[in-house]
């Protein structure tokens, strides 16, 4: 099974709302990722968790707050977002270091900020 699941599929929120995106994998992968993708562009890395600890933060604004409750779950908490944050948010996982194996993606959450 190479499945990464994400909820919700779609999300519309106002600039004052607080919402969370959820991601889950049961492949035993120890690295989990959040990406942001704008239309017709490649995914842009936001955060990487390895062994449940934050390893990489690509200078993402603090209105995005990641959380890794356990080795299978990854959350992205959203607060006071801007309209330019509207995008497809992708979760991914891999076995460990990038060179150790392939990265698998979830179906994404389409976020619209009004």
Partner 1 sequence: TQLLEQSPQFLSIQEGENLTVYCNSSSVFSSLQWYRQEPGEGPVLLVTVVTGGEVKKLKRLTFQFGDARKDSSLHITAAQPGDTGLYLCAGPTSGTYKYIFGTGTRLKVLA
Q: Which residues bind partner 1 (CB under 8 A)?
A: 2, 4, 6, 31, 33, 39-43, 45, 48, 50, 55-56, 88, 90, 94, 96-100, 102-108, 110
55/82 with CB nearer partner 1? 55
The rounded distance, in Å, linking the Cα atoms of 74 and 17 is: 20
- Three-state DSSP at 92 gives strand
The answer to whether 45 and 56 have CB atoms below 8 angstroms apart is yes
6/81 with CB nearer partner 1? 6
Kindly state the smallest distance separating residue 30's Cβ from partner 1, in Å: 10
The rounded distance, in Å, linking the Cα atoms of 91 and 45 is: 10
Kindly state the smallest distance separating residue 5's Cβ from partner 1, in Å: 10
Kindly state the smallest distance separating residue 8's Cβ from partner 1, in Å: 13
The rounded distance, in Å, linking the Cα atoms of 38 and 4 is: 20
16/42 with CB nearer partner 1? 42
| Residue that the structure tokens 């076995």 belong to | 95
């Amino acid at each position: 099974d190479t499945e990464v699941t994400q909820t919700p599929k779609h999300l519309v929120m106002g600039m004052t709302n607080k919402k969370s995106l959820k991601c889950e994998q049961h492949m035993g992968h120890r690295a989990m990722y959040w990406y942001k993708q704008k239309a017709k562009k490649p995914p842009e890395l936001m955060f990487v968790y390895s062994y449940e600890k934050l390893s990489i933060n690509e200078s993402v604004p603090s209105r995005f707050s990641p959380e890794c409750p356990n080795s299978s779950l990854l959350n992205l908490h959203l607060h006071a977002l801007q309209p330019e944050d509207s995008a497809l948010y992708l979760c991914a996982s891999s076995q460990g270091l990038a060179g150790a194996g392939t990265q698998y993606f979830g179906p994404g959450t389409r976020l619209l900020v009004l």
